[in-house]
Structure 1
């Protein structure tokens, strides 16, 4: 048994988690409830920025596949407890724990938190099923793991916002985790790690709050094809209108936007 940073992270059984992660379907992952020491988790939950604060400092998403979410990656805007969490999850000690659990050597944290940091989703927000970008262009690193920690006290099941893990054909949701307070989910990121967040139907005065970080290696994973890609979205089986109409229209809109931008630059 391990008592990692007893002041912050609860006692965890690394060997047990490693066994669970290796055999987990549809791709390697593990979930821990009561991940952080209760006092520390409460401290973070109480200090989590309000929606109006995050809206001023973060990036908001309004696309077909990702809507109603705001993220803050600049740690200068993090309250002290979240800064502490960020430092812990980027520490060499925690990286060694992840390496042992997930069987990946030489993990690295991203100091810039590209795509990570504070995430907040309001009512009717969602994140469709996708695989993440596989290569960090600025750092020249291969993306290997996601960690998600939730800070939603008294979250109700009907409010949705579950993180879902799907099979590689995106035909069946294999695992679904409600974003309850102090739940941690870690999973491998590769070309079949399809995951998404169901629509959030919380009350108007509530938000779905989480912290996300991603881990990398200099060495490519065994399945590396040599082709970097950005986020790839897939519609769920019951999302035919989105699949056949809304997603193609959005793709066309982005292409037109890029074309217009190039034309103006050369005008």
Structure 2
């Protein structure tokens, strides 16, 4: 189902590419899934109306960790392969991040989708898991977009710290993108342009470590940053980030509102 041989055969090359990538460590690998599996997953991907939709001035997209309500192929891909010890080992080798942990609760993970006009503005992710408090370290995105073109947009953008430029990755079919998730990994995705009714589909997975990457105990919320042409957001986002930080710090359990997946809730 998963092309482990491709990853393991090229692990040294991929590790060098990941380590040397700019503006922060990342890697793109095509054909991660067996073609027939990728095709099957694409064909049974749920409609946006079946998913939890997030819509505000920061983002407009569907993101849903409740994998149990969707076709079982997604549980199989995630729990048997994207969470497998074999993949965790090779990802640790590629990234240089020892002791990577999968998250069975799929915090901020699962299936993601964006139809015409959907977007995710530039941000860094929340630093830690709301239950385990493990540190978020690595993001894996697996795209399931057949016949995707430049014109359809939705590019993953990895931004330089001064917001002067970005690396753009087209979310084509069966492409995996991984990138380090830390306090400098500013990323988002461009607006989707699909008046034909197509949508940007992906499986999103985060990996964690128990130990802090820099040896310090830290916490930060998901924080947004404006592109240079986004004049209103240049004013709005710093205030929004500050207010949400204050509110979270006042909560005994900062992220207890998070939607988490519980396999025990599934019906036999």
Normalised by the length of structure 2, the TM-score is 0.85
Runs of 4+ aligned structure 1 residues displaced above 6 Å come to 251-255
Structural mapping, 1:177-196, within 5 Å: 177-196=169-188
Structure 2 Cα separation of the partners of residues 51 and 135 of structure 1: 27
Can you list the C-alpha shifts for 1:26-65, whole angstroms capped at 9, x where unaligned? 11110011121111111111111122322xxx2x111111
Instruction: Give the whole-Å Cα distance in 2 for the aligned partners of 1:171 and 1:248.
Output: 18
* CA spacing shift, 1:253–1:232, aligned 2, 3 Å: closer
Asked whether the equivalents of residues 129 and 235 of structure 1 are also in contact (C-alpha less than 8 Å), the reply is yes
Q: Which residue of 2 aligns with 1:15?
A: 12
Larger radius of gyration: 1
Matched with 1:40 is 37
Name the CA shift for 1:23/1:114 in 2 (closer, same or farther; >3 Å).
same
1:79–1:176 CA distance, 2 compared to 1 (3 A): same
What are structure 2's unaligned runs of at least 5 residues? 249-268
In structure 2, the CA distance between the partners of 1:124 and 1:250, relative to structure 1 (3 Å rule), is farther
Moved more, 24-33 or 9-18: 9-18
User: 2:82 aligns to what?
Assistant: 89
Structure 1 residue 237 corresponds to structure 2 residue 234: no
User: In the alignment, which of 105, 111, 118 is matched to residue 98 of structure 2?
Assistant: 105
Residue matched to 2:206:
214
Equivalent-residue separation in structure 2 for 1:52 and 1:148 (angstroms)? 21
Would the aligned equivalents of 1:146 and 1:212 in 2 still touch at CA under 8 Å? yes
> TM-score, normalized by length of structure 1?
0.85
How far, CA to CA, are the matches of 1:66 and 1:51 in structure 2? 15
Return closer, same or farther for 1:155/1:102 CA change in 2, 3 Å cut-off.
Answer: same
What are structure 1's unaligned runs of at least 5 residues?
1-6, 259-267
